[in-house]
Amino acid sequence: MAAPVNTLKQKLAAGQLQTGCWLGLVDPYAAEIAGTAGFDWLLIDGEHGPNGITQISNQIGALQNSDSEVIVRVPVGEDWIIKQVLDAGAQTVMVPMVETGDQAQAMVRAMRYAPEGVRGVGAALGRASGWMGIADYTTTANGQMCLIVQVEAQRALDNLDDILAVEGVDAVFIGPADLAADMGYLGNPDAPEVQAAMEDAVKRIRASGKAAGIMCVDPEFARKAIGWGANFAAVAVDALTLATGLRKTAAAYKD
């Protein structure tokens, strides 16, 4: 028995538009509810959400029966945390703040067992192998790993061609807020200079044959970004959806 097929990896490689939701509520029950919504993918956020490896693992478990593909954003691009989320069952990982081709290559290697990489072999302890119920997991897992790197600074844009040249990077995700801040437009990703930089990056990413991702919870911006060619679109955040809905309901009874 081989490692499960990563259908998100396949769909992104085929250029299909995949829309999804960020999960930052740090709760398996909330994640399970999100898993019924019908998004193409759900991302468990370990960078800005207060998620430790136990909470991440519990949410992956809660989403096992969902049709939405599971992604984990690690807090930092380090071998040890990537190893842990992969063993917990993630096949797709997003790494923040990747700024060079060398960094991207290191993340590819962190996602794979030797000789292609440096991922530690401890599958017997992990959900990924079904606790060794998937007999051929370690020999087939490498081909199902999907790596998304985040471009969030001018230095990353300057090195974008080097990042795109790295085999094993499946998608490049643009973070508008961090990019705007690094470009001198903190809190203003709508600045024409930032918009132009993002549009150029999306088009270059897609021209390279990789998927182009972007955070676009505003519907108008989502339509614009998808028009540029973005095919991995974050269109919702669970915490914002909850906050907005509760505030709207509360306000309705204040009049």
If one counts every other C-beta atom within 10 angstroms of the C-beta of residue 27, the result is 16
48 in catalytic set:
yes
Task: Check whether 180 has a pLDDT greater than 80.
Answer: yes
SS3 (DSSP) at 247: helix
pLDDT of residue 124 exceeding 90, the answer is: no
Give yes or no for a contact between 18 and 11, defined as CB atoms under 8 angstroms apart. yes
The stretch 210-235 carries a mean pLDDT of: 98
92, 72 Cβ separation under 8 angstroms:
yes
DSSP string of 28-95, one letter each residue: HHHHHHHTTS--SEEEEESSSS---HHHHHHHHHHTTT-SSEEEEE-SS--HHHHHHHHHTT-SEEEE
Look at residue 123 in the predicted model and tell me its pLDDT: 83
CA dihedral of 250, 251, 252, 254, whole degrees rounded to 10: 100
- pLDDT category of residue 204 using cuts at 50, 70 and 90: very high
**Shortest CA distance to 64 belongs to which of 19, 153, 127?**
127
pLDDT in tens, 135-172: 999 999 999 999 999 999 999 999 999 999 999 999 99
The encoded tokens of residue 218 equal 């505003």
Residue 218 has a pLDDT of: 96
Determine the pLDDT at residue 27. Answer: 97
How many residues are recorded in the chain? 255
Q: Which of 48, 155, 223, 247 is catalytic?
A: 48
Instruction: Quote the mean pLDDT of the chain.
Output: 97
Contact 134, 159 (CB under 8 A): no
Using alpha carbons only, what angle is made at residue 215 by residues 62 and 149, rounded to the nearest 5 degrees? 80
Domains within the chain, CATH numbers bracketed: 7-252 (3.20.20.60)
Sign of dihedral through CA atoms 130, 136, 142, 144?
negative
Q: What is the pTM of this model?
A: 0.96
pLDDT in tens, 52-80: 999 999 999 999 999 999 999 999 999 99
Q: Determine the number of helices (DSSP H) and then strands (DSSP E) in the chain.
A: 12, 8
